[in-house]
Structure 1
Amino acid sequence: MRINDYEHLLKKMLEENLKDSERYVALLKVIGNNSKYDFNSQVSIAYHNKEATACGEYDFWQKTFNRVVKRGQKGIPTLRQFGEYKKVVYVFDVSQTVSKDRNVNEINLWKMNADLRNDTLDNILKKAYMNIDEHDTSISKLKEVIKQFINANYSVIANEMKIEAFKQNDFRNFLEESLLISVSERLGINHVPKVELLKNHLQDFDEISFQNLGAYLSTINKNIITTVIEAEKEIFRLNEQTKEADKQYNIKNKELNIENHTQIKGGIEDDGLRSSIGDELNGEERKFISRDANNRGNLREDSRIDKARTLQTSTDEFLY
């Protein structure tokens, strides 16, 4: 496809999103699932395959995952900048590929661990000095996370988009709902889109302003998802450290019970046992058993990543 042909197609795709709120919702979900791409590429991906969950170029699938594109599959056109010139590059969704040797070769896409979901979102909110209500639902917590990211960028977005004062509140609600749809889709959190809210505001944009809006949404969406992934890794790491600390404590406790039973006939008082445990542990073990997060220490980066990966897969092939 020539660049001019792609640009004419892009114009058509943008116009269809402005006219059809359902298509816009589909676009937002593609933005959530394909956050590594720029907004215009995401528009093209959504137009050609609204169910796309992970896209890559032909060589990417072959070299990284030993997969090839199925016979007869058509690529999705995207426009890339290479220095001073542009080029139309085709990408393919994982559903369009198959293992080269025909063996079962599933692609391990990162998915948010449901057991760590609330702790992960709480972790992000605590770092933003937000009050946490443990009874809040995951979607409520995600809304608060999204609000924090919008607040950090809102003045720049509103000024750039030239949003009039009396429309500021409605525009903010539009941003929040758009991001809630895209991010919840990627995190696997149920959310029913407020289609009417979106429909009422899409008419305020033209092609240029819609592209500007999309660029902001795409960037914030990517930043939120990246933050969530890192926060989940941190929660997983802390949980693993706590489990290991408990394990070491129980082992030491058992050893001391055996030793004291052998040396002291008739047993010992509980306070004496706790004192003995404290006396027997060396400095490193004291540090490890402590439940204080400040004393837990840090695992090496490669170990942290490997452990986080085991949330979903035991292989090295892990696609975020």
Structure 2
Amino acid sequence: MAETTLRETIRKFNEVKQEIRTSEEAWAAFLTCAARNHKYAFQDQLLIYKQRPEATACAEMDLWNKRFHRWVNKGQKSIKLLDGEALRHVFDVGDTHPARGHENDAPPYIWRVRPEEARSTAELLAASCGVEPDPLGLSHLLQGMAKNMSEDLEKNRFALYNGDAVNRENSKEFAYSCITWYLLVRCGLDPREAEALNFSAVTGLDEASMMELGNTVNRLSREVLDKVERIVRTRDRERGVERGSEPERAAAVGVVDWTIVKKTDTKSEAIKEGEMSVF
């Protein structure tokens, strides 16, 4: 009997949960993909990595069509995500092309920290978090934030193994490494230059511990990255205002206020993203 698409996706989900724990390199490759797609839940990130490890900006077809005026390339297979007993289908930006008449539209807005603005971004991020600016810049600041978050996890008895003191310490160090890598990748910084990153514990993780770690890293990193995004989008918006009119600004920096369709368990509802982008 042929495998259904749902069963195939469940099989891939189970496979990737094993595959990313086979080596430090496999775990780092997954974290890199997850960081680029940081607004997705950990479960979704696993499936995006399994099906399209190079993905950088994923959305459902309806959003590509209606908001970004882009069509999915003919014959392109979707990235399938589990949604309860059903599937969600998303496509990476590389799977799409501009619709007729929109060939000259600005590309979809994906925020990024420009190298020449890293120091000012670090200063604004420190201020928004109520901490002292780091004289060594954004990379060092993010590493310090990751360290503080991992120490808070230890205080709350976060443990990936059996909860004794030694394993809580190992869990803290591993969480620090994962959060640091995730933050630096999404902010366009080289994680290999960070201090004391160690993924060796990944091969000893059981599935439950891996899922707990992944969800925790996803949640904590998202809190920081949302702050960074607000800083970057504000700066980009101001730069767009200087260049010209409101339509020109929207084309230059992405949409300031727009509506996307969010699938819920019972219906599709419109939600306002406000100051945040979809990617």
Counterparts in 2 of 1:36-115, with a 5 A limit? 36-81=39-84, 86-101=85-100, 103-105=103-105, 106-115=107-116
Q: CA RMSD in A?
A: 3.2
Matched, 1:197 2:136: no
Counterparts in 2 of 1:141-180, with a 5 A limit? 141-156=141-156, 158=158, 162-180=162-180
1:118 maps to amino acid: R
Query: What SS is found at the alignment partner of 2:141?
Result: helix
Preserved contact between residue 111 and residue 312 of structure 1 (Cα < 8 Å): no
For residues 46 and 193 of structure 1, what CA distance do their matches in structure 2 show? Answer: 24
Query: What SS is found at the alignment partner of 1:71?
Result: coil
For residues 4 and 154 of structure 1, what CA distance do their matches in structure 2 show? Answer: 38
Matched, 1:23 2:26: yes
Counterparts in 2 of 1:229-240, with a 5 A limit? 229-232=229-232, 236=235
1:87 maps to amino acid: A
For residues 166 and 116 of structure 2, what CA distance do their matches in structure 1 show? Answer: 42
Query: What SS is found at the alignment partner of 1:98?
Result: strand
Change (3 A) 1:42 1:114: same
Change (3 A) 1:232 1:20: same
1:65 maps to amino acid: F
For residues 151 and 311 of structure 1, what CA distance do their matches in structure 2 show? Answer: 41
Aligned residue pair count? 246
Per-residue CA deviation, residues 187-225 of structure 1 (Å, 9 max, x unaligned), is 111221789821x20122112221121111111121110
Runs (5+) with no aligned partner, structure 2: 240-245, 257-276
Q: Select between 205-214 and 109-118 the one with higher mean Cα deviation.
A: 109-118
Give the drift of 1:152. 4.2
Query: What SS is found at the alignment partner of 2:21?
Result: helix
Counterpart of 1:313 (choices 224, 233, 252) is 252
Change (3 A) 1:126 1:108: closer
Structure-2-length-normalised TM-score: 0.76
Equivalence for 1:301: none
Preserved contact between residue 150 and residue 173 of structure 2 (Cα < 8 Å): no
Matched, 1:11 2:10: no
Preserved contact between residue 54 and residue 93 of structure 1 (Cα < 8 Å): yes
The structure whose RCO (Cα within 8 Å, separation 6+) is larger is 1
Preserved contact between residue 39 and residue 214 of structure 1 (Cα < 8 Å): yes
For residues 315 and 210 of structure 1, what CA distance do their matches in structure 2 show? Answer: 35
Preserved contact between residue 111 and residue 188 of structure 1 (Cα < 8 Å): yes
Per-residue CA deviation, residues 263-306 of structure 1 (Å, 9 max, x unaligned), is xxxxxxxxxxxxxxxxxxxxxxxxxxxxxxxxxxxxxxxxxxx8
For residues 166 and 152 of structure 1, what CA distance do their matches in structure 2 show? Answer: 16
Query: What SS is found at the alignment partner of 2:212?
Result: helix
Change (3 A) 1:158 1:21: same
For residues 253 and 88 of structure 2, what CA distance do their matches in structure 1 show? Answer: 32
Counterparts in 2 of 1:258-277, with a 5 A limit? none
Of Structure 1 and Structure 2, which has the larger fraction of its residues in helix?
Answer: 1
Runs (5+) with no aligned partner, structure 1: 241-305
Change (3 A) 1:193 1:14: farther
Preserved contact between residue 121 and residue 145 of structure 1 (Cα < 8 Å): no
Preserved contact between residue 77 and residue 90 of structure 1 (Cα < 8 Å): yes
Equivalence for 1:287: none
2:99 maps to amino acid: K
Equivalence for 1:120: 121
Computing the radius of gyration from Cα coordinates, the structure with the larger value is 1
Structure-1-length-normalised TM-score: 0.67
Preserved contact between residue 146 and residue 224 of structure 1 (Cα < 8 Å): no
